[in-house]
Structure 1
């Protein structure tokens, strides 16, 4: 398995975990709402209101995670490019980036990669840039040394 394939797999695993966590939380909230409805008087609605609010938030997070999963399915690990694009590993003089989705730090094969979104501030600086391009971000001067 190539480094790109492994990075994509890790991103998918982390998103799958998020999806499962949100589904579990939604199930627990629904069970709490049902037990509240059975055991509470009609006058006390504050507990159910908070639970419904939590349910909405978790359903929104679940939707976002599912969209991220769909987005990751657009990444092709066998595409090579001379410019940074979705699915590229971009090595710089300071750190390595994997342009995919905002997952954060991934340690793999004695190297550290930062999975970032195309829409993130640093993603916007990297996208469509070739090797030997320099840019500044957070008062650091980066030089793109390799694109895989």
Structure 2
């Protein structure tokens, strides 16, 4: 398995975990709402209101995670490019990036990669740039040394 394939697999696993966690949370909230409704004959819905709010938030997070999962399915690990594109590993003099989605730090095979979104501030600085491009971000000067 190539490094790109491993990174994509890790991203997918982390998003799957998010989806699973949000589904579990949604189910717990639904159960709480049902038990609150059954035991609440006084007409006091302050508890239900907060639960409904939590349910809405978690449903939105779940939908976002599902969209990220769909987005990751667009990444092709066998495409090579001289410019940084979706699915590229971009090595710089400071750190290594994997242009995919905002997952954060990934330790892999004695190397560290940061999975970032194309839409993130650093992703915007990297996308469509070739090797030897330099840029500044957070007071650091970066030089793209390799694109895989």
Q: TM-score, normalised by structure 2?
A: 0.99
Aligned length: 148
Q: Distance in 1 between matches of 2:45 and 2:80?
A: 57
Q: Distance in 1 between matches of 2:47 and 2:63?
A: 24
**Superposition RMSD on alpha carbons, in Å?**
0.5
Aligned to 1:136, the other structure's residue is in SS state: strand
Q: Distance in 2 between matches of 1:2 and 1:48?
A: 49
Give the gaps of 5 or more residues in structure 1: none
Q: CA deviation at 1:43?
A: 2.0
Q: Does 1:7 align with 2:7?
A: yes
With 39-48 and 138-147 compared, the bigger mean Cα shift is at: 39-48
Q: Distance in 1 between matches of 2:14 and 2:82?
A: 28
Task: Tell me the equivalent position of 1:142.
Answer: 142
Task: Tell me the equivalent position of 1:25.
Answer: 25
Q: CA deviation at 1:40?
A: 1.0
Task: Tell me the equivalent position of 2:46.
Answer: 46
Aligned to 1:84, the other structure's residue is in SS state: coil
Q: Distance in 2 between matches of 1:63 and 1:34?
A: 22
Task: Tell me the equivalent position of 1:101.
Answer: 101
Q: CA deviation at 1:95?
A: 0.1
What does the per-residue CA deviation read over 1:32-70, in whole Å, with 9 as the maximum and x for residues that have no partner?
Answer: 000001001242100000000000000000000000000
Q: Distance in 2 between matches of 1:56 and 1:117?
A: 25
Q: How does 1:68-147 map to 2 (within 5 A)?
A: 68-147=68-147
Q: Distance in 1 between matches of 2:38 and 2:120?
A: 46
Give the gaps of 5 or more residues in structure 2: none
Aligned to 2:17, the other structure's residue is in SS state: helix
